[in-house]
Amino acid sequence: MTTTLSPETIAIVKATAPALQQHGVAITTRMYERLFVDPEVKALFDEAAQESGEQPKRLAAAILAYAKNVDNLGVLGQAVERMAQRHVETGVKAEHYPLVAAALLPAIKDVLGDAVDDNILSAWGEAYWFLAEILTGREKQLYQAA
């Protein structure tokens, strides 16, 4: 389990913020294309929010905020709480997280192409799992309380 991110990983993730600012929605749109090959996963999502393009925008904004604040996660507390609440409302489980990782990381490569190398992708992989652990930890508490 990752308990902290290394200074190198933090620096790489922060350095990708401008690319995410510019291409974030293209990346999350591509991520959902990859993710929704699985009909069970697709069924978790509100179709209206998908079709209006709202959901890819929300996820892109969350990823950008994370990239910018990866060294100061305290400022994301409320946003993380909202994500966890929404995940519990929609039945997201810890076992779904590997599916999103397997869709998101290749989607970053699909969109940014040669601008990302293995080093950048592996930094994002670590950063993803770091946030995923925070979310699944909180979601577990919320499921237990329900």
Contact residues: ligand HEM, CB under 6 A: 41, 44-46, 49, 55, 58-59, 62, 82-83, 86-87, 90, 92, 96-97, 99-100, 128, 131-132, 135
User: Is residue 40 flagged as an active site residue?
Assistant: no
User: Is residue 47 flagged as an active site residue?
Assistant: no
Cα–Cα distance, 46 to 28 (Å, whole number): 16
Q: Which of 32, 66, 97, 128 is catalytic?
A: 97
Pick the closer one to ligand HEM by CB: 18 or 91. Answer: 91
Can you read off the two tokens belonging to residue 80? 């993380």
Long-range contacts of 104-111 (CB under 8 A, 24+ apart): 104/27, 104/31, 104/128, 106/34, 107/27, 107/28, 107/30, 107/31, 107/33, 107/34, 108/27, 110/27, 110/30, 111/23, 111/26, 111/27, 111/30
Closest approach of ligand HEM to the CB of residue 120, in Å: 17
CB-based closest residue to ligand HEM: 46
Pick the closer one to ligand HEM by CB: 87 or 109. Answer: 87
**What are the backbone dihedrals phi and psi of residue 91, each rounded to the nearest 5 degrees, phi first?**
80, 25
Pick the closer one to ligand HEM by CB: 44 or 142. Answer: 44
Residues with catalytic annotation? 97, 139
